[in-house]
């Protein structure tokens, strides 16, 4: 469904090599997570898929056709894009935000209204929220509207760029699981950028690891956690387990509050 071949992209007249010879495939129905530190080129790679970024060299194919075969706005109808902070229009209602693309496509108002209700159900928001403004929603609810909007014109590919990043952990886990369910139910093809390795392991079928613009590894979570992988990849994949162990140890070995009433150990870092 998505095929990148030897994609390179530099900025600042070649001084910043944001993406360095990246090739990857996402089959129809696949769910790929891209992880890696800030500045490693994750967003730039993903933006070559919906042509917010044009590669310097290399090719991007969507569904067997070059991504630049049609005008970018035609391509983007099929590709939902959700990023951190969502970018909902503050002066439009939830229904108007979700209906933006269908309206541009000239859908009849009744069809748009039906689609808005259907999408609110899909992302588990009450239909009564249709008339609210974004500022009357919580952060998690706004992200749900962002997902609904991305799907509105029957997109089959969804790009999530740190889409759940700014949310508190419980809301975030819920939204991630709900999104995974939607991915199955609608037969979507998903590329999700996250800095949270646990989220990648729990939601994705495959994980690509980027560092300094290069693709260091690409495999199933199991493949990346074991076997002959780059030491950086192993350390990254091991981070959630190490953290969970330290948390468990901390909670069971003693009562931090009793011995350290000011909680200074926690402040200094476990």
Closer CB to Mg ion, 29 or 39, in the complex: 39
Q: How far is the CB of 217 from ligand ADP (least distance, A)?
A: 15
- H or E stretch covering 7: strand 2-11
Site size for ligand ADP (CB under 6 A): 12
CB of 43 or CB of 143, closer to ligand ADP: 43
Among 4, 33, 40, 167, binds ligand ADP (CB under 6 A): 40
In three-state secondary structure terms, 199 is helix
Shortest Cβ 41–ligand ADP spacing (Å):
4
What is the Cβ-side half-sphere exposure of residue 253, based on CA atoms within 13 angstroms? Answer: 9
Cα separation values, 75 from 25, 35, 82, 188, 220, Å: 18, 25, 16, 16, 28
Q: Which parts of 44-73 interact with ligand ADP (CB under 6 A)?
A: 44
In terms of residues, how long is the chain? 270
What whole-number distance in Å separates Cα of residue 23 and Cα of residue 40?
15
DSSP code of residue 92: S
Contacts with 115 (C-beta within 8 Å, 6 or more apart), sequence order: 98, 99, 102, 107, 152
Give which of Mg ion, ligand ADP, none residue 41 binds (C-beta under 5 to 8 Å, depending on kind).
Answer: ligand ADP
Q: How far is the CB of 129 from Mg ion (least distance, A)?
A: 29
Query: Segment contacting ligand ADP (CB under 6 A): 38-46, 59-67, 165-173, 229-237?
Result: 38-46
Taking CB within 5 to 8 Å according to partner kind, which of Mg ion, ligand ADP, none is near residue 38? ligand ADP
Cα 173 from Cα 150, distance rounded (Å): 20
For position 38 contacting ligand ADP by CB under 6 A, the verdict is: yes
Residues 21-60 that bind Mg ion (CB under 5 A): 43
For ligand ADP, which is the closer residue by CB, 16 or 177?
A: 16
Which 3-state string (H, E, C) describes 152-215? CCCCCEEEEECCCCCCCHHHHHHHHHHHHHHHHHHCCEEEEECCCHHHHHHHCCEEEEEECCEE
Q: Is 89 in the site for ligand ADP (CB under 6 A)?
A: no
* In the complex, minimum distance from the CB of residue 171 to Mg ion, in angstroms, rounded to a whole number: 21
| Residue ranges that bind ligand ADP, judged by CB under 6 A | 11-12, 16, 18, 36, 38-44
Chain contacts with Mg ion (rule: CB under 5 A): 43
């Amino acid at each position: 469904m998505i095929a990148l071949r030897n994609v390179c992209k530099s900025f600042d007249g070649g001084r910043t090599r944001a993406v360095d010879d990246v090739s990857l495939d996402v089959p129809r129905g696949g769910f790929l997570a891209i992880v890696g530190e800030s500045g490693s080129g994750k967003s730039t790679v993903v933006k070559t898929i919906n042509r917010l970024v044009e590669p310097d060299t290399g090719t991007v194919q969507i569904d067997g056709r070059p991504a630049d075969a049609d005008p970018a706005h035609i391509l983007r109808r099929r590709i939902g894009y959700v990023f951190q902070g969502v970018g909902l229009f503050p002066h439009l209602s939830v229904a108007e935000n979700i209906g933006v693309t269908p309206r541009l496509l000239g859908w009849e108002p009744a069809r748009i209204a039906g689609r808005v209700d259907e999408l609110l159900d899909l992302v588990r928001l009450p239909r009564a929220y249709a008339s609210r403004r974004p500022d009357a929603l919580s952060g998690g609810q706004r992200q749900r509207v962002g997902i609904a909007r991305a799907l509105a014109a029957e997109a089959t590919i969804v790009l999530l760029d740190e889409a759940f990043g700014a949310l508190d952990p419980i809301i975030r886990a819920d939204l991630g699981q709900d999104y995974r369910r939607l991915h199955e139910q609608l037969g979507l093809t998903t590329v999700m950028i996250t800095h949270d390795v646990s989220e990648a392991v729990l939601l994705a079928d495959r994980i690509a690891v980027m560092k300094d613009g290069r693709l260091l590894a690409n495999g199933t979570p199991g493949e990346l956690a074991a076997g002959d992988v780059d030491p950086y990849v192993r350390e990254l994949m091991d981070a959630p387990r190490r953290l969970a162990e330290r948390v468990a140890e901390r909670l069971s070995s003693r009562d931090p509050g009793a011995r350290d009433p000011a909680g200074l150990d926690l402040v200094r870092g476990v």
